[in-house]
Amino acid sequence: MNVKNLRLINFRNYYNLNVEFNDNINIFMGKNAQGKTNLIEALYICSYGKSFRTTKDRELINFNKEQAYIGANTKLNNLEKFIEVKMERDKPKRIRINKSELKNYKELNTGLVSVLFCPDDLKMIKEGPLLRRNFLDASISQIKPVYSYNLIRYNKVLMQRNNLLKTCRIKKDLVNLIDVFDIQLSKLGTSIIIERDKFINELNILINPIHKNLTCDKESVELKYFSNIPRLIDKESIEKEYLKLLKSNLNRDIEYGTTEIGLHRDDLLMLINNKDVKIYGSQGQQRTLVLSIKLSVVEYIKKYFGVYPVVLLDDVFSELDEDRRKFLSNSFKNMQVFITVTDAVDLNAVNDLSKSVFIIEDGK
């Protein structure tokens, strides 16, 4: 899969940009605050329908303008797609593929699938479980759009249940209505848990050869799925147990006004040589693990989608040592990659690959 070209109008600090890309390595080189990450962000939006830096679309529009536009031609095998994103101040953005408007961003994966590597990835290890759940959700959604559809529905039902729990404290007879939500939560929740379980098992298989290579065979990795719902032998048994747990916890839930049981409390434990890397890992170990995790997602997408995703590397390359840069570059031989670097970094690691270097200066 690759992006052939990108057109930007009034997007961040780009007034008018038209650029053709290399099928392999594309390097955005420039000093700080010139527009390198803005380009990565525009590509990311074409793939995920939203930015990784902000939830406020109006921030994407140039300070002096009312509208912005992103257009990208992508190619998957011999199938070409034209993705367009139109942003207007105070209106929801509109996304089209081949001129037809998308009702749901999940269809975007027919146009562009990408994996982003950025310094914030480290937070996935250092911070709370929310970022790890977001990582699971974003990765699985790219391959299985129905997963994100179920997740949106789950979160809606969860919110309704939580609202009702609070009302039940005053109007006790409403407690009977909770059953309806519990049935929906256990059904949707079970299908999500099964997908998370499958994904983590797959990742465990893919990550070890990658991580061993990156650490000269010194470290083994295990990713462990932690959930307060037991994963039993089949779907029906999980659903039944899920429902039972929701019911047995009901009084506590009413007291606190929130649902304790469910996948919204899941976590992903990351072990290096059997030790929790969040607690015991050095900074370097944590960084390397993040790299291995992201590379295994790239392989996961290749396995299930049939083609490699486009890889977006923002501010990551310059922070790696020469060996890791070489390893990374070798992993990127057969895919399209976008890399931001400041002008000081040396590009020895990608010398053998087909590459284009774009010098970025003040949105040009």
Binding site for ATP, by residue number, is 30-37
Q: Angle CA(301)–CA(304)–CA(306) in degrees, nearest 5?
A: 85
Q: Which CB atom, from 255 or from 343, has the smaller least distance to ligand ATP?
A: 343
Residue 116, strand partner residues: 312
Among the listed ranges 32-40, 105-113, 171-179, 199-207, the one in contact with Mg ion (CB under 5 A) is 32-40
Q: Which CB atom, from 310 or from 339, has the smaller least distance to Mg ion?
A: 339
Burial status of residue 101 (CB atoms within 10 A of its CB: 0-12, 13-18, 19 or more): exposed
Contact of residue 205 among ligand ATP, Mg ion, none (CB under 5-8 Å per partner type): none
Shortest Cβ 103–Mg ion spacing (Å): 32
The phi and psi torsions of 93 (rounded to 5 degrees) equal -75, 155
Q: Tell me, what DSSP letter sits at residue 70?
A: E
Shortest Cβ 37–ligand ATP spacing (Å): 3
Q: Which CB atom, from 36 or from 93, has the smaller least distance to Mg ion?
A: 36
Contact of residue 208 among ligand ATP, Mg ion, none (CB under 5-8 Å per partner type): none
Largest CA distance in the chain: 72
Among the listed ranges 37-45, 51-59, 236-244, 268-276, the one in contact with Mg ion (CB under 5 A) is 37-45
- The one-letter amino acid code at 55 reads T
Shortest Cβ 217–ligand ATP spacing (Å): 34
Whether the Cβ atoms of residue 112 and residue 79 lie closer than 8 Å to each other:
no
Shortest Cβ 13–ligand ATP spacing (Å): 4
Residues near ligand ATP, by CB under 6 A = 12-13, 30, 32-38, 59, 61-63, 315, 340, 342
Pairing of strands 25-29, 355-359: parallel
> Count of CB atoms within 10 A of residue 163's CB?
12
CA 59 – CA 56 distance, rounded (Å): 6
| Of 34, 37, 190, 286, the one binding Mg ion by CB under 5 A | 37
